[in-house]
Structure 1
């Protein structure tokens, strides 16, 4: 969130902002005189008009982490006219996501999410209204149930097998691991929803274009938008974010609309065991017995694909980066795979529960590199108290899970990638342990967690069981660039490119 780079833009609007702010402050002071002053959590002293904006740097999660060291695990920031509370410890995360969940589970919908009315129809950005509960119910009772995921086991197996074959055909050639993981997870989700691959492995350029559109969406959507901090700027779209997001949304939605239209013309499947997610959604009814609209389904698919492919592939890329960067970790994972699975067959999902060190590697990746470092913006639906501090209605609330994962009061040597810390630990990432919250917690817990759990573990396992990996041009693994950039999700600045070499018998790859 490099606010200083757009200082000139801010100055242009500051003159108008100052005049409006003076009127606003006069009205506010009059209002405050008639009400007792609330005790907000501590925080840095705000500047007039702009608040604490210039105390927040390019990577918001890191800036919030540094400020929390000074002001405490729950603090208040004034980002323009937006009052923001940041929780940066497991105890404060518990307060926000569990104790005060009924009051703090609403959303602060950013301007970027309002384009083409996406946010109003999204499960991610909607408040907990009846339509949101309908989509949530469909997820938990029909899409991501144990029975449904087990029924789709063979589909996932074939997608992972296709990935392995594609890598095998490209051995000794530098491979973009992040894109490979994206194509695998994207086609997997595509098959679950539409019963078909959306991209062939031979159409890598086409899939890269779509991935770039998703990446751009997440990056542009997560950029600091002056219109979010100064409401009077909303009609002007000073940074062109609304215009850019509208363009990208149209590109992505067009892909989904095409498949929905095809299914509407052909009709849904009659046999229950043959139905995919699209059939289920087209037949689903809301609480008022109405069917979901086509646009609601399109927005829902965008949410599913973003979480199921982009976020999942980012996690796999971070995991493989850490593993390649730490050769001892790589050897331990391979040794475990060789002992539990052997070298005469490919690892399967049924093996995952018997691979504790692999589990530890994935947990350590989630700790250091949570895909959504601040989760998604929460909003106070009602006023509430946390630790004696007031959280007024409509306050924006962040949970800095990135900071929690690096808290020295919680973790020994927090900056070190050390999976062994989880070998004798009961800490899980299913929303009950507030020191590890990559999927959130409470009613906003990511419903796709069971699917992400399976995809991440099995893809990382296949990549390490079937191939040895080296960085190109003799790069030193210990010097691998691990810099991240944050939009809505946390991505690697430099994508991981490595050279695969088969390590199993040739017949395994057939």
Structure 2
């Protein structure tokens, strides 16, 4: 029996040793495989790109409208293109298929942001929803926004705010028309957006319509977007940051402090109200109350987080929507037949006895097609907000190294003749028989981006753009204020977003039979 025991134990030991040897061999083979795979990856080439200058790379080739320059370069070097901006390696994506690879198939590898000095300064060291790296903090902020601002239930509950802001704007324009005044359409659209954001976020109109303070705030918003979007030598060559050769860093700090003081004032006023025993906390809460409640309930939210959310809302929620409305009206005024067709549809569906409402949009297919065509030709963020590669990966057989900055040329995709027929022609009809949409699944049309970092404000933006453009066309006929120019100037000014270089100014005339 004892010999049997030793025999069994010896067999077990042999088997165990064999198993250990086999496991060790498998582990060794696995390590060799990983090393070979790593070497193969490292030996892969970068995507092709234009030769650059020593030290400064391709900066001279970008010009003051990088989205246009990069689109032209992509025609030669392809839809995945490498450029050097100083010491920074950047990937430029310029086709729907490659956009799908980056923003969908490899979304997790590209879910963080590449933040420059301006973005870190304005976004409280890059901790806001727009600029924070992908991770728990970003997921928390996104969840709060999704639940408390952009959920269908919340947006439906705030429909009266949108209607009030638009109706008030129409009334102001009616007064302008009676006085023979010219209307700055972008400015008027900005005030609608600003009034709405103020009421959604903190239940107050932050600035009075038409006031000098409101005009100044609009300039401040654009300055943020411009400073965040233009190349800064301090970003491209970090050892130059202390010198601030362009003076951009100091401008950024001063502007950020102005916003910070405004947000501090709004928050402090609310905290005083909340401390008052007469304050009714059972009333419908705005976004600020919800954020303060979460902070007081012991979540990870700080006052800086709240101010960062304000920054995102007041910047992204005002300029992008108002800019899109201005581009839409500019295109329509250049195409009177298209404009008349939208008005005819409005007359058929809504009539002139009442004002257009959000519910009408579902029955206005041509208006919806017009808005899609504007999104195609004039995406608010032409190069998307830059992402970065959190780790090295392979796209279409090319190596994308870790920390590569990634631009998706949304503007270029929308104007590519290999994607769109007659791409420079404003033609809403192309969308009447098409199922292409702009919500991140059809990569021919991604004005809001796609993937995890898709713009969270799509539901609000689409409601506002349709309602404002439709209301302007239902209530008024428009004639162009030419200012001695033969046609509407459609040139662009580049920043994180695109603005019309020359503001659109037009004269409104109330339409016959319209009931105001």
The TM-score with structure 1 as length reference comes to 0.89
State the partner residue of 2:192: 184
State the partner residue of 1:257: 264
Larger radius of gyration: 2
Q: Does residue 1:238 correspond to 2:238, yes or no?
A: no
- Structure 1 gap ranges (5+): 1-32
**Deviation per residue, 1:407-458 (Å, 9 max, x gap):** 1111000001001000111011111110111111111011111000100100
CA–CA separation in structure 2 for the residues paired with 1:248 and 1:145 = 32
CA–CA separation in structure 1 for the residues paired with 2:373 and 2:328 = 8
Q: Does residue 1:486 correspond to 2:494, yes or no?
A: yes
- For residue 166 of structure 1, the aligned residue among 161, 172, 176 is 172
Q: Does residue 1:322 correspond to 2:335, yes or no?
A: no
8 Å CA contact 1:104–1:381 kept in 2: the answer is: yes
Please state how far the C-alpha of 1:118 moved relative to its aligned partner. Answer: 2.0
State the partner residue of 1:14: none
State the partner residue of 2:212: 205
CA–CA separation in structure 2 for the residues paired with 1:140 and 1:115 = 25
Please state how far the C-alpha of 1:47 moved relative to its aligned partner. Answer: 2.3
8 Å CA contact 1:282–1:291 kept in 2: the answer is: no
State the partner residue of 2:33: none
For the aligned residue pairs, the C-alpha RMSD in angstroms reads 2.1
- For residue 288 of structure 2, the aligned residue among 271, 278, 282 is 278
8 Å CA contact 1:472–1:499 kept in 2: the answer is: yes
- For residue 341 of structure 2, the aligned residue among 332, 337, 353 is 332
Q: Does residue 1:502 correspond to 2:510, yes or no?
A: yes
Please state how far the C-alpha of 1:505 moved relative to its aligned partner. Answer: 3.9
CA–CA separation in structure 2 for the residues paired with 1:359 and 1:336 = 11
Most deviating of 101-110 and 215-224 = 215-224
- For residue 445 of structure 2, the aligned residue among 436, 445, 456 is 436
CA–CA separation in structure 2 for the residues paired with 1:109 and 1:408 = 32
Q: How does 1:64-463 map to 2 (within 5 A)?
A: 64-115=70-121, 118-171=124-177, 172-201=180-209, 203-267=210-274, 274-284=284-294, 289-463=298-472
8 Å CA contact 1:347–1:465 kept in 2: the answer is: yes
Q: Secondary structure at the match of 1:397?
A: strand
The TM-score with structure 2 as length reference comes to 0.88
Please state how far the C-alpha of 1:36 moved relative to its aligned partner. Answer: 4.8
**Deviation per residue, 1:276-306 (Å, 9 max, x gap):** 11111112259x9525211211111111111
Please state how far the C-alpha of 1:117 moved relative to its aligned partner. Answer: 6.2
Most deviating of 258-267 and 468-477 = 468-477
8 Å CA contact 1:366–1:438 kept in 2: the answer is: yes
8 Å CA contact 1:107–1:379 kept in 2: the answer is: yes
- Structure 2 gap ranges (5+): 1-38
State the partner residue of 2:3: none
Q: Secondary structure at the match of 2:437?
A: coil
CA–CA separation in structure 2 for the residues paired with 1:47 and 1:412 = 36
Please state how far the C-alpha of 1:129 moved relative to its aligned partner. Answer: 2.2
CA–CA separation in structure 2 for the residues paired with 1:388 and 1:474 = 53
CA–CA separation in structure 2 for the residues paired with 1:65 and 1:472 = 32
Shift of the 91–272 alpha-carbon distance from structure 1 to 2, 3 Å rule, reads farther
Please state how far the C-alpha of 1:388 moved relative to its aligned partner. Answer: 0.6
Please state how far the C-alpha of 1:272 moved relative to its aligned partner. Answer: 5.8
8 Å CA contact 1:221–1:241 kept in 2: the answer is: no
CA–CA separation in structure 2 for the residues paired with 1:210 and 1:36 = 49
Q: Secondary structure at the match of 2:168?
A: helix
**Deviation per residue, 1:330-367 (Å, 9 max, x gap):** 00100000000001000000001110100011110010
Q: Give runs of ≥4 in structure 1 deviating > 3 Å.
A: 35-38, 268-273, 473-477
8 Å CA contact 2:44–2:397 kept in 1: the answer is: no
CA–CA separation in structure 1 for the residues paired with 2:388 and 2:332 = 37
Please state how far the C-alpha of 1:74 moved relative to its aligned partner. Answer: 0.5
8 Å CA contact 1:163–1:184 kept in 2: the answer is: yes
State the partner residue of 2:12: none
Most deviating of 275-284 and 118-127 = 118-127
CA–CA separation in structure 1 for the residues paired with 2:409 and 2:280 = 46
State the partner residue of 2:59: 53
CA–CA separation in structure 1 for the residues paired with 2:189 and 2:283 = 28
8 Å CA contact 1:283–1:291 kept in 2: the answer is: no
8 Å CA contact 2:477–2:511 kept in 1: the answer is: yes
